[in-house]
Structure 1
Amino acid sequence: MRTQVGIIGAGPSGLLLGQLLHTYGIEAVILERKNPDYVLSRIRAGVLEQGMVDLLDEAGVGRRLHQEALVHDGFEIAFSGRRHRIDLKHSTGGRTVTVYGQTEVTRDLMEARKAAGLTTIYEAADITLHDFDGERPRVRYFKDGVSQELACDFITGCDGFHGVARQSAPANALQTYERVYPFGWLGVLSDTPPVSPELIYVNHDRGFALCSMRSAHRSRYYVQCPLSDDVGEWSDDRFWDELKQRLGPETAGHLVTGASIEKSIAPLRSFVAEPMRFGRLFLAGDAAHIVPPTGAKGLNLAASDVYYLSRALREFYDEGSKSGIDAYSANALRRVWKAERFSWWMTSILHRFPDSDAFTQRIQTAELDYLVSSKAATTSLAENYVGLPY
């Protein structure tokens, strides 16, 4: 099989890149090692920056989002027993964020790709990448036990942190940076109305909590927990009781509880791999970087990678220019590191660390107090939260 761009991974970044390339008249084949149901079963975040919403519109998949998504003008930070609203729209000159689950983004992209008759090969096993240091890259894989090969001009690895793309990069050319946090997020999804119309980030002596939502009738809640915890030890009742303690009596009084429909513990990590290009192999999304979920930058960073890469490839095919391709890694990484900084900072001021002493906790409270009382600090938070420009 022959195509112009081979994309490894049918998550939202791979699908979005494929759809954008299709609108530019560039052929792309997507290879995914799992089946479609498995891809759609991944429960992930869903706070979208305006830049990502614009890309989904450009890709022609924004109709359902605009019908069903929740547009948020702000969010709240709670600490020392009080809630403080961050007015995103006022602080950023009218910019907002959109709440729309990653599963729904993936579904919309899958359906658009299918409707356009584009090729996605699911359950592609033992994928290996070859000759991307030259001009004729190849991807080999097994489908239904039969060896197959995809010849292409470029390969894009959108296959996540554990995928084959980054593992295929030359070890002596790859530099990684990592910070692993000593706690996780216990998350519960429930068919209950959200406790608040906007997200609430909570700093509490017992640990961080987050009140989020997927729709007006489906909520997503998180509490900080030790990495050693077993999710099976957390009954629904235990989770709700812990969340109520961290929310405080006034907010907890409005909390509607119910049976969980999904429950999991996610570790927190900051990770960056540099560079994001190796000859004709590009990394995008989680294959190149991970952020802790505080601040909701993971999916949005993948979208910004896709923005830079899609335009670089269009420039190559339309104009014969390699300037965009040559600049891809540097352009993407500038934005990646700013988002990494913001996510690290949000994590640092909102969580309880095992080695935190009384001094550290006082500093945390002082920073939060300054944050909500200073126009400059609030503006900086809001600008980063709604998303820095591409």
Structure 2
Amino acid sequence: MRYIRTTRLLNHPTIWLLRPCNGDGQKAMIGANLVRQERRIMKTQVAIIGAGPAGLLLGHLLRAEGIDTVIVERAAPDYVLGRIRAGVLERTTTDLMDQLGLGARMHAEGLPHDGFHLADGERLIRIDVAALTGKQVMVYGQTEITRDLMEAAPERGLEIIYDAGDVALHDVDSDAPYLTYSKDGTTHRIDAQFLCGCDGFHGPSRKAIPASVATAYEKVYPFGWLGILADVPPCNHELIYANHERGFALASMRSETRSRYYVQVALDEKVEDWSDDRLWDELAIRLGPEAAAHMVRGPALEKSIAPLRSFVFEPMRHGRLMLAGDSAHIVPPTGAKGLNLAASDVHYLSQALIGYFRRRDADGVAGYSAKALARVWKAERFSWQLTRLMHRFPDSDAFDRRMQVADLDYIASSVAAQTTIAENYVGLPL
């Protein structure tokens, strides 16, 4: 039995329904039992795996340039929107939203921040980002960024296929890569000129790059962050990163009425052992008296423990497969680089693909990995340094603790040190 194209299903991208035919080319009769075995093939220019912020940003940028693009996402829309993630946006990220004309709600509901604080028990050391760099950061939840991008997709012709199971990438080192997935009992295939893996640390994209050509760098930290989300006003109008002898703490927010707090915990800690009262008490101790005096307590909307790691995968391109975001790198949440680093990947990748399809310029594609990784490693360095400065490590001794105190004393008194931190926090130039 062979297959021929018989039915065009959509105008964009091109989708063909393949039906079995007999040897003389005549269509065979198809019963109900055969319909379930039909296989659909879609043809597009770019297929993106993952409908998180990285995949959605990339898809919108490419569609805005008239490039045929489809996104495949393993989860349902509600699950994607249910992911609780970071909320501090660099200028790179906000500029991309504005470039797409999707920044109105972000500017209306987001909280522009001119700085943040480092705490060392008794005092708050303010890093005046705006004065030192001339830029701001924006507090606007990653969930809200995702919602804005998802809701704009239909009217802008960006197709997103949700609930796609068993996603697999094929022939990524050839000129004709494709991916397959299952949905509603049917196997689907997408032929594309490029595949873009924006499917996170556990997705299939990175695994499609042969181990013989790749190198992974990883540092797993011996602690995690226990977080609480509550509908209470924040204790400070700016973020506080606290170094305390009992461990790290962070006071953050999602809005003027919703707060996000974290404390450093051992990896063997369990969420159920931390009542709301115990967690609020610990936060008050670690954040210091000034923050504690303004802390409003409330029931947890969500509590969870997240492990910390630094991870970089090289290269970020193999053949016609390009990686972006968490599929290629992970940073500790200290310094809020995760989403923003994904946005810088998307900036470089979108420019490379637009250059290829508009001007047949292959140099951008060839140079994408090196350009993206140069910024990735700088962001990794900043997150690693800030993590070491603000956390208590199990193997630390009295000398290590005094070094942290000395570093914080130096930062408190040095404009040069504060400027270095501010430049990295607000985001290095692209």
Fold-level match, TM-score > 0.5?
yes
1:45 and 2:86 matched: yes
Is the aligned partner of 1:353 residue 2:393? yes
Q: Provide, for residues 169-193 of structure 1, a one-character-per-residue CA deviation record: whole Å limited to 9, x for no partner.
A: 1110110000000000000000000
**1:84 corresponds to 2:125:** yes
Q: Decide which of 324, 327, 330 is 2:367's aligned counterpart.
A: 327
For structure 2, list consecutive stretches of 5 or more residues without a partner in the other structure: 1-41
Q: CA deviation at 1:371?
A: 1.2
Query: Which amino acid letter does the alignment assign opposite residue 95 of structure 2?
Result: D
Q: Which residue matches 2:153? A: 113
Q: Give the Cα–Cα distance (whole angstroms) in 2 for the partners of residues 306 and 372 of structure 1.
A: 35
In the alignment, is residue 73 of structure 1 matched against residue 134 of structure 2? Answer: no
Match of 2:68 in 1: 27
**Is 1:3–2:44 an aligned residue pair?**
yes
Q: Distance in 1 between matches of 2:422 and 2:231?
A: 29
Q: CA deviation at 1:116?
A: 2.1
The secondary structure found in structure 2 opposite 1:179 is: strand
Question: In the alignment, which residue of structure 1 is the partner of 2:194?
Answer: 154
Give the distance between the partners of 1:135 and 1:75, measured in 2 at CA.
Answer: 48
Quick check: 2:114–2:137 contact (8 Å CA) kept in 1? yes
Aligned length, in residue pairs: 389
Q: 2:327 aligns with which of 280, 287, 290?
A: 287
Q: Report the 3-state secondary structure (helix = DSSP H, G, I; strand = E; otherwise coil) of the residue aligned with 2:117.
A: strand
> 1-side partners of 2:158 and 2:127: how far apart?
42
The answer to whether structure 1 residue 267 and structure 2 residue 278 are counterparts is: no
Task: Report deviation, 1:204.
Answer: 0.2
2:318 aligned to which of 278, 282, 286? 278
Distance in 1 of aligned mates of 2:279 and 2:189? 48
**Helix, strand or coil for the counterpart of 1:2?**
strand
Q: What is the one-letter code of the residue matched to 1:380?
A: T
SS where residue 3 of structure 1 aligns? strand
Deviations 1:218-270 (A, max 9, x none): 00000000110111111101100110111223321210000010110000000
Asked if 1 retains the 8 angstrom alpha-carbon contact of 2:49 and 2:72, the reply is yes
Task: Compare relative contact order (CA 8 Å, sep 6+) and give the higher one, 1 or 2.
Answer: 1
* Equivalent residue number for residue 64 of structure 1: 105
Alignment of 1:101-180 (within 5 A): 101-180=141-220
Letter in 1 for 2:75: K
Is contact 2:214–2:315 with CA below 8 Å preserved after alignment?
A: yes
CA deviation profile, 1:93-131 (whole Å, cap 9, x unmatched):
x11100000000000000011222421110110011111
Q: Output the CA distance in 1 between the equivalents of 2:243 and 2:147.
A: 34
- Within a 5 Å distance, the mapping from 1:153-232 to structure 2 comes to 153-232=193-272
TM-fit CA distance, 1:54 = 0.3
Provide the rounded CA distance (Å) in 2 between the counterparts of 1:369 and 1:238. 30
User: In 1, are the aligned partners of 2:198 and 2:324 still within 8 Å (CA)?
Assistant: yes
1:36 aligns with 2:77: yes
* Native 8 Å contact 2:60 2:158 kept in 1: no
Aligned AA (2:135): R
Q: Aligned equivalents of 1:358 and 1:36: distance in 2?
A: 49
Question: TM-score w.r.t. structure 1 length?
Answer: 0.99
Instruction: For residue 216 of structure 1, report the CA deviation from its aligned partner.
Output: 0.4
Secondary structure at the counterpart of residue 142 of structure 1? strand
Q: CA RMSD in A?
A: 0.7
Q: Secondary structure at the match of 1:51?
A: helix
AA in 2 matched with 1:332: A
| Shift, 1:81, TM fit | 1.1
Cα deviations by residue, 1:347-376 (Å, 9 ceiling, x for unpaired) = 000000001110000001101111121111
Alpha-carbon separation, structure 1, partners of 2:290 and 2:161: 51
SS of match in other structure, 1:204: coil
Query: Aligned residue for 1:255?
Result: 295
State the alpha-carbon separation in 2 of the partners of residues 26 and 371 from structure 1: 47
For the residues of structure 2 that align with 1:115 and 1:352, how far apart are their CA atoms? Answer: 49
Unpaired segments of 5 or more residues in structure 1?
none
Q: CA deviation at 1:206?
A: 0.5
Inter-partner Cα distance in structure 1 for 2:157 and 2:324: 24
TM-score by length of 2: 0.90
Return the alpha-carbon distance in structure 2 between the equivalents of residues 292 and 318 of structure 1.
37
